[in-house]
C-alpha cells in the first residue's frame, strides 16, 4: 500500500517538476520578492518591514497559485489522457490513487516553499535588513493553509474540469479568508437567505484567515505554541475530511 | 473430489446502457452478453468498430460498472485488487506520461504491481529487449509513435508476469512486422500457461492465433466457440476450370454449375459439391476437345462468417 501511494506521489511530483508551469511560477515569485526593493523611498524601519511582508506574501501567493493551477487539473489530466485506465487496472485502490496524487502535489509545494524561502532569506541578507528565523513561522502556517487548499483542489479535480475546478478552489480560498466577515454578516443580516448562506459558508468552508500570521511575525509580536498547534491540527483534520470526500466521489466514477 | 477449474473470466448476462449527449440518448453498448474464458487459452473478441468490445473490457478492468449482469475475474469482482494483481492490461490506443522515459514508466508500473525492487530492474530490461526498445528506453515518451506506445503498453502489462493478459486492439497502429512480433508475444504467453483475452476488428489476427473466439456485433454475442467449430470443415463450394470450351459445351456445363465465368476457351465453374465435379468429369469424357485442368475446393472462412453476421444485423435493424 505504501509502495503504491508513494509510487503515485513520486510520479505526480516528477510530472510537476518537469513541467514549465511550476518553474515559471517559482521564478516569478523570486522576481517579485527581489523587486520589493524598488518600493522607495520610505522611512528606514518601515522599509525593512515592507520588504519582509512583500516577500512572505509573495511566497504564499505563488504557492497558492501552484496549488490551484496544478491541483485543479491533477486528476482530470489522468482521465483526459486516459492514463487513468492503466493506473486503475493495476492493483491500486481508488483512494490510494487520490491520496498519492495529493501527497505528490504536497511534496511539490514543500519543495517550492523551501526554494522560495531560501531565495527570500538570501534577498534579506543581500539587502541587509536582517533575517530573523521567526519569519519561518509564517511560512509554516502557509504550508498548513496549502494542505487544506490542495485537498480542496484535488476534490474539485476529481469530478470537474480544470477551469471549473480552479475557479471553485479560488472561490473557496477567497471566501475562506473572509470567515469573520461571514459570521458577522450572518449575525446582522435581516434576510434569512443571506443568514443561511453565510452560516453555511462559515461552518463548511475552511477558515483560512487564521493562517495569516504575517503581520505578527513582521512586527515581532510574540506567538504562543497554541497559535501554531491549533491551526496545524485544524488543517490536518480539514484536509483529511476533504480527501475522504474526494475518494468517495472518485470511487463512484466510471471511465 | 475433483472440482471444475474456475474460469479466469466469467461474464454472465451482462448489459451496459450509456446515456449520452444533451438529450441523454440511450445507447445499448452491451446486450445480454455471456462468456467464459478458461485458463491457458487465447480468446479473441472480434467485432466491428462500435460493437462494444472496449465497453466489455472496461467492465472487466473495473473502470466501468455494468447496467445489469455480473462480470468476474478469477472469481472476484473486477474492482478487487486481488484480481487485478493477477492481470495485465493494455488499453486501446494507449497513452502514457509524457514526462517519463519508457524505463521510468515500466519501473513505476512494476512498483504499483508489487514487483520486488530486486526483481524490477531485470524484468524491465528483459521486456525492453523483448520488444526491441532498448534504444528508446531512456528518452521521454513525448515524441513516441503509435507503434512505440503500443510496445510500451504491452511491456507495462507484462511487467508483473501476470496470469491473465487483457489487450484492447493490441495490433492497432502497428506495421506488418510489428503485428507479427505481437502475435509471437501472445502465442509465447499462451505457451507459458498464461491466459490471453484480446479484442480486434481484424479477422486475420484472430484466425492465426486464437483458440476460441467470441463474435460481437452491436453489443450482442452472435457466436462463441472454437474456430474449428464455427468454421465447420465443410467445403462450401468447388471451383472447376475447364479448357477447350466452345459455345455449345459451355451451355451443357453451365447446367451443372451455380456460377460460371468464361475467359477465352477457359471456363471457370463454381459448383456445390463433389457430385457435380463427377458430372463435369463425365461430360468432359463424353464431349471431345474439353479437359478439366483445375479443381479448387473452397472452405468457409471467418471472413465469410463475419460478413454474413454483419449483413444479418444490418437487415434486422432496417
Ligand atoms: N462513455 C460513453 N458514453 C456514451 N456512449 C459510449 C461510451 N463509450 C462507448 N459508447 C458507445 O458504445 C458503443 C460501443 O463502444 P465501444 O465499446 O467503444 O466499441 P468497440 O470497442 O467495439 O469499438 C458505441 O456505440 C459507442 O459510441
Ligand atoms: Mg474499442
Ranked by mean pLDDT, which of A91-100, A134-143, B169-178 comes out on top? Answer: A91-100
Report which secondary-structure segment, H or E, holds A146. Answer: helix A136-157
* Average pLDDT for B23-40: 92
Q: In chain B, which residue ranges form alpha helices assigned H by DSSP?
A: 53-60, 81-84, 102-112, 117-130, 146-158, 176-191, 203-209, 227-230, 247-254, 274-286, 302-317
Residue A235 near residue A87 (C-beta atoms within 8 A): no
Q: Does B197 touch chain A (CB under 8 A)?
A: no
Residue from A78, A90, A97 whose CB has the most chain B CBs within 10 Å, to mutate: A90
Task: Report residues whose beta carbon is within 6 angstroms of any ligand 1 atom.
Answer: B 18, 20, 27, 29, 47, 49-55
Q: b or e along A172-186 (b: 16 or more beta carbons within 10 Å of the residue's beta carbon)?
A: bbebbbbbeebbebb
Please tell me the predicted confidence (pLDDT) of residue B232.
Answer: 67
CATH architecture of B9-230: 3-Layer(aba) Sandwich (3.40)
Lowest-confidence pick of A159-173, B74-88, B149-163, B219-233: B219-233
Residue B152 near residue B106 (C-beta atoms within 8 A): yes
Distance between alpha carbon B159 and the CA centroid of its chain, in Å? 23
* Average pLDDT for B127-150: 89
Return phi, psi of residue B168, to 5°: -100, 110
Other beta carbons less than 10 A from residue B234's beta carbon: 9
Please tell me the predicted confidence (pLDDT) of residue B234.
Answer: 64
What fold does the segment set B235-299 form as a domain?
Alpha-Beta Plaits (3.30.70)
**Which residues in chain B are contacts of A86 at CB distance < 8 A?**
89, 91, 94, 96, 109, 153, 156
Report which secondary-structure segment, H or E, holds B4. Answer: none
Contacts of residue B255, defined as CB under 8 A and 6 or more positions apart, other chains included, come to none
**For residue A179, how many C-alpha atoms fall within 13 Å in the half-sphere facing its CB?**
15
Please tell me the predicted confidence (pLDDT) of residue B260.
Answer: 86
Model ipTM value: 0.85
User: Is residue A83 a part of any domain in this protein?
Assistant: yes
- Grid coordinates in use for A132? 530573523
- Grid coordinates in use for B96? 502514457
Q: Which residue has the higher pLDDT, A203 or B198?
A: B198
Q: Is the pLDDT of residue B118 over 70?
A: yes
At B15 the three-state DSSP class reads strand
**For residue B194, how many C-alpha atoms fall within 13 Å in the half-sphere facing its CB?**
22
Contacts of residue B208, defined as CB under 8 A and 6 or more positions apart, other chains included, come to B183
**For residue B315, how many C-alpha atoms fall within 13 Å in the half-sphere facing its CB?**
6
Listing from the earlier edge strand, what are the strands of the sheet with B25-37?
Answer: B25-37, B9-20, B68-73
* Average pLDDT for B78-88: 94
Residue A53 near residue A218 (C-beta atoms within 8 A): yes
DSSP codes, A65-90 = HHHHHHHTTTTHHHHHTTHHHHHHHS
Cross-chain residue pair B156–A92, CB shorter than 8 Å: no
* Average pLDDT for B286-302: 81
* Average pLDDT for B5-14: 92
Contacts of residue B33, defined as CB under 8 A and 6 or more positions apart, other chains included, come to B11, B13, B14, B15, B52, B56, B69, B216, B219, B220, B221
Please tell me the predicted confidence (pLDDT) of residue B317.
Answer: 65
Q: Structural domain boundaries of chain B?
A: 9-230, 235-299
Identify the sign of the CA torsion B164, B165, B169, B175. Answer: negative
Atom 12 in ligand 1: which residue has the minimum CA distance? B29
Residue A217 near residue A136 (C-beta atoms within 8 A): no
Please tell me the predicted confidence (pLDDT) of residue B231.
Answer: 72
Atom 25 in ligand 1: which residue has the minimum CA distance? B50
Q: Is the pLDDT of residue B57 over 90?
A: yes
Q: B253-276 pLDDT, tens per residue? A: 888 888 888 888 889 998 888 888
Residue B227 near residue B265 (C-beta atoms within 8 A): no
Please tell me the predicted confidence (pLDDT) of residue B78.
Answer: 95
Q: How far apart are the first and last CA of chain A?
A: 23
- Grid coordinates in use for A21? 508551469
Burial class (CB in 10 A: 0-12, 13-18, 19+), A151: buried
Return phi, psi of residue A192, to 5°: -65, -30
Please tell me the predicted confidence (pLDDT) of residue A45.
Answer: 67
- The percentage of chain A sitting over the pLDDT mark of 70, rounded to a whole number, equals 96
Q: How far is the CA of B162 from the centre of ligand 1 (A)?
A: 27
Please tell me the predicted confidence (pLDDT) of residue A53.
Answer: 87
**For residue B85, how many C-alpha atoms fall within 13 Å in the half-sphere facing its CB?**
10
* Average pLDDT for B237-249: 87
* Average pLDDT for A77-83: 91
Q: Is the pLDDT of residue A41 over 60?
A: no
Please tell me the predicted confidence (pLDDT) of residue A143.
Answer: 96
What's the domain range around A115? 2-177+212-252
* Residue A202's pLDDT band (cuts 50, 70, 90): confident
Specify the number of domains making up chain A.
Answer: 1
Identical fold between B9-230 and B235-299? no
User: Is residue A187 a part of any domain in this protein?
Assistant: no
Q: Is the pLDDT of residue B109 over 90?
A: yes
Lowest-confidence pick of A3-7, A15-19, B187-191: A15-19
- Grid coordinates in use for B226? 472454437
Please tell me the predicted confidence (pLDDT) of residue B104.
Answer: 94
Residue B103 near residue B137 (C-beta atoms within 8 A): yes
User: Is residue A205 a part of any domain in this protein?
Assistant: no
Please tell me the predicted confidence (pLDDT) of residue B207.
Answer: 81
At B71 the three-state DSSP class reads strand
Q: Is the pLDDT of residue B1 over 60?
A: no
Which A-chain residues 27-56 have CB contacts (< 8 A) with chain B? Answer: none
- Grid coordinates in use for B7? 474460469
- Grid coordinates in use for B214? 467470441
Please tell me the predicted confidence (pLDDT) of residue A225.
Answer: 81
Residue A42 near residue A140 (C-beta atoms within 8 A): no
Rounded to 5°, angle at Cα B280 from B274 and B284: 145
Please tell me the predicted confidence (pLDDT) of residue B30.
Answer: 95
Lowest-confidence pick of A108-112, A115-119, B19-23, B190-194: B19-23
User: Is residue A195 a part of any domain in this protein?
Assistant: no
How far is residue A110's CA from residue A113's CA, in Å, rounded to a whole number?
5
* Residue B311's pLDDT band (cuts 50, 70, 90): confident
Which pTM value belongs to this model?
Answer: 0.85
Amino acid at each position: 500500500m505504501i509502495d503504491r501511494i508513494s509510487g503515485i506521489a513520486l510520479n505526480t511530483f516528477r510530472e510537476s517538476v518537469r513541467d514549465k508551469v511550476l518553474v515559471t511560477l517559482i521564478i516569478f515569485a523570486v522576481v517579485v520578492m527581489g523587486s520589493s526593493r524598488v518600493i522607495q523611498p520610505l522611512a528606514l524601519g518601515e522599509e525593512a518591514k515592507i520588504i519582509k511582508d512583500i516577500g512572505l506574501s509573495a511566497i504564499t501567493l505563488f504557492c497558492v497559485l501552484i496549488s490551484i493551477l496544478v491541483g485543479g487539473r491533477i486528476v482530470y489530466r489522468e482521465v483526459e489522457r486516459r492514463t487513468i485506465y492503466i493506473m486503475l487496472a493495476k492493483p491500486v485502490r481508488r483512494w490510494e490513487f487520490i491520496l498519492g496524487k495529493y501527497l505528490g502535489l504536497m511534496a511539490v509545494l514543500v519543495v517550492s516553499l523551501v526554494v522560495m524561502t531560501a531565495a527570500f532569506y538570501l534577498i534579506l541578507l543581500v539587502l541587509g535588513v536582517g533575517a530573523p528565523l521567526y519569519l519561518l513561522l509564517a511560512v509554516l502556517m502557509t504550508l498548513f493553509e496549502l494542505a487544506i487548499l490542495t485537498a480542496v483542489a484535488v476534490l474539485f479535480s476529481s469530478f470537474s474540469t480544470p477551469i471549473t475546478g480552479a475557479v471553485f478552489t479560488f472561490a473557496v480560498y477567497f471566501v475562506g479568508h473572509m470567515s469573520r466577515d461571514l459570521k458577522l454578516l450572518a449575525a446582522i443580516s435581516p434576510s434569512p437567505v443571506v443568514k443561511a448562506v453565510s452560516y453555511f459558508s462559515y461552518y463548511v468552508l475552511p477558515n483560512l484567515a487564521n493562517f495569516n500570521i504575517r503581520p505578527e511575525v513582521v512586527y515581532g509580536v510574540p506567538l504562543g505554541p497554541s497559535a501554531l498547534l491549533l491551526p496545524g491540527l485544524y488543517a490536518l483534520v480539514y484536509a483529511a475530511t476533504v480527501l475522504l470526500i474526494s475518494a468517495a466521489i472518485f470511487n463512484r466514477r466510471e471511465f | 473430489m475433483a472440482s471444475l477449474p474456475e474460469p479466469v473470466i466469467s461474464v454472465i448476462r451482462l448489459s451496459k446502457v450509456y446515456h449520452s449527449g444533451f438529450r441523454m440518448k440511450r445507447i445499448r453498448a452491451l446486450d445480454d452478453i455471456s462468456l467464459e474464458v478458461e485458463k491457458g487459452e487465447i480468446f479473441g473478441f472480434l467485432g466491428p468498430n462500435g460493437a462494444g468490445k472496449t465497453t466489455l473490457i472496461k467492465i472487466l478492468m473495473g473502470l466501468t460498472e455494468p447496467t445489469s449482469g455480473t462480470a468476474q475475474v478469477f472469481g472476484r469482482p473486477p474492482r478487487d485488487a486481488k484480481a487485478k494483481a493477477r492481470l495485465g492490461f493494455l488499453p486501446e490506443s494507449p497513452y502514457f506520461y509524457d514526462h517519463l522515459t519508457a524505463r521510468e514508466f515500466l519501473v513505476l508500473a512494476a512498483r504499483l504491481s508489487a514487483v520486488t525492487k530486486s526483481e524490477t530492474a531485470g524484468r524491465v530490461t528483459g521486456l525492453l529487449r523483448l520488444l526491441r526498445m532498448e534504444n528508446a528506453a531512456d528518452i521521454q515518451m513525448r515524441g513516441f509513435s503509435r507503434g512505440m506506445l503500443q510496445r510500451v503498453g504491452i511491456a507495462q502489462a507484462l511487467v508483473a508476469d501476470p496470469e491473465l493478459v487483457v489487450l484492447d486492439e493490441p495490433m492497432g497502429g502497428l506495421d506488418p512486422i510489428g503485428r507479427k512480433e505481437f502475435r509471437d508475444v501472445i502465442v509465447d504467453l499462451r505457451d507459458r500457461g498464461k491466459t490471453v483475452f484480446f479484442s480486434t476488428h481484424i479477422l486475420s489476427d484472430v484466425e492465426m492465433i486464437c483458440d476460441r473466439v467470441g463474435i460481437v456485433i452491436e453489443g450482442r454475442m452472435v457466436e462463441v466457440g472454437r474456430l474449428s467449430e464455427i468454421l465447420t470443415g465443410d467445403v462450401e463450394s468447388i471451383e472447376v476450370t475447364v479448357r477447350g470450351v466452345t459455345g455449345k459445351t459451355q451451355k451443357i456445363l453451365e447446367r451443372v454449375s451455380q456460377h460460371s465465368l468464361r475467359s477465352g476457351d477457359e471456363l471457370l465453374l463454381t459448383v456445390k459439391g463433389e457430385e457435380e465435379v463427377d458430372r463435369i468429369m463425365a461430360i468432359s469424357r463424353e464431349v471431345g476437345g474439353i479437359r478439366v485442368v483445375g479443381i479448387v475446393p473452397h472452405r468457409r472462412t471467418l471472413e465469410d462468417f463475419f460478413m454474413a453476421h454483419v449483413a444479418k444485423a444490418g437487415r434486422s435493424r432496417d
